[in-house]
Structure 1
Amino acid sequence: MMSLRGMKTALLSLTVMVGLSACGFQLRDHYQVPQTLQQMHLQAVSSMGLEESLKQRLLTAGIQLVDHNQAGVAQLRIVSDRLDRRTLSLFESGQVAEYELLYRVDYQVIRDGEVVIEDNVEVARDYQDDPNFALAKTRERELLVAEMRDDAARRLVRKMITAFADNEQ
């Protein structure tokens, strides 16, 4: 026979599980990939390593990548990706103290020769600069840009899958 404490724990666990499933909670990067996106051709020429991040995200989502564009297979084409920098604040000496980094990816999804999605993804981060620690700040900036690229790839895949799922319903 289960103790009172054990019953309370089981009831609490059951309540949490029901509550999470009722609100639509899903694990991050867990997608219901529409049938039309089960296979995809990726066309990306990126100077910032976006192609590798996209490949990883697409495979994680359960999308099989094909080498050649085939009839009936969706094609994800990265039109452009760029990193812009905007000054947010200055030191008293006039040197830049803080930047905003903005990474933008423009993309298209093409199916049977027709552009079915044309959109973009933007990721912004603040970056504090200090000329006294130039080497460390350069490395920090590189890590921040890599994180932004991965975030952009995750957002792009999520937006694309959601758009296709909405179109199929």
Structure 2
Amino acid sequence: MRNLITCLLCSFIISGCGFSLRGNYELPDSISQLRLASAETHSALERALRNELKPYNVDIIESGVAGDSNLLNVYLLSDTLDRRLLSLFTTGQVAEYELIYTVRYELQFSQRDAQLVEFDIKREYQDDPDAVLAKSRELELVLSEMRKQAANQIIHQISIAQRSSANTAIPKI
């Protein structure tokens, strides 16, 4: 009985302070639809964002379809992957890179100015010239993970921006 009371007390304290699990972003009820457009048709980031929005039951309206002017508009402007050299083998071949995935997008809420947002996601990547095929597959998986993280970050920033007042800028995370 004592353990049960202690457990309940701890859960009330944690929930009372606003704690939520990582990746558990609650989108406001006012975002039931959004218009999603991308500079690059059917880009990998756009597909990742669509997949990450599925659990939130958000209807995604294509950019060319006429609809409510009060919709949230998300414009994916660009996503680029850059590499920065971190270390070399004694033979002079590259041993380690830092992958830098940069995402630029624009949020347009109704009755508000468009907000341009840019952020980077960084990962270290170890290269092995003896396992080129395996490393190319690993690079694809890392890039896919980075896109998924970028999509989650966009959703999180939408959630924060929706709750902020009309005159404040979107906070950077």
TM-score, scaled relative to structure 2: 0.83
Unaligned runs of 5+ in 1: 1-6
- Tell me the CA shift for residue 38 of structure 1: 2.4
- In 2, are the aligned partners of 1:108 and 1:115 still within 8 Å (CA)? no
- Tell me the CA shift for residue 147 of structure 1: 0.4
- Equivalent residue, structure 2, for 1:3: none
Give the letter aligned to residue 105 of structure 2: Y
Out of 80, 83, 106, the residue aligned to residue 82 of structure 1 is 80
Distance 1:106 1:128, change over 3 A: same
Give the letter aligned to residue 85 of structure 1: R
- Tell me the CA shift for residue 25 of structure 1: 1.3
Alignment of 1:22 with 2:22, yes or no, is no
Q: Which has the greater radius of gyration? A: 1
CA distance in 2, matches of 1:81, 1:64: 23
- Equivalent residue, structure 2, for 1:40: 34
The range that moved more, 20-29 or 9-18, is: 20-29
- Equivalent residue, structure 2, for 1:4: none
Out of 144, 147, 150, the residue aligned to residue 149 of structure 1 is 147
CA distance in 2, matches of 1:47, 1:40: 16
- Tell me the CA shift for residue 141 of structure 1: 0.8
TM-score, scaled relative to structure 1: 0.85
| Greater helix fraction, Structure 1 or Structure 2 | 1
- Tell me the CA shift for residue 91 of structure 1: 0.7
The range that moved more, 103-112 or 114-123, is: 114-123
Aligned runs of 1:90-129 on 2, under 5 Å? Answer: 90-112=88-110, 115-129=113-127
- Tell me the CA shift for residue 42 of structure 1: 0.5
- Equivalent residue, structure 1, for 2:54: 59
- In 2, are the aligned partners of 1:36 and 1:73 still within 8 Å (CA)? no
Coordinate RMSD, CA, aligned: 2.2
**Superposition misfits of 4+ residues, deviation over 6 angstroms:** none
The range that moved more, 133-142 or 39-48, is: 39-48
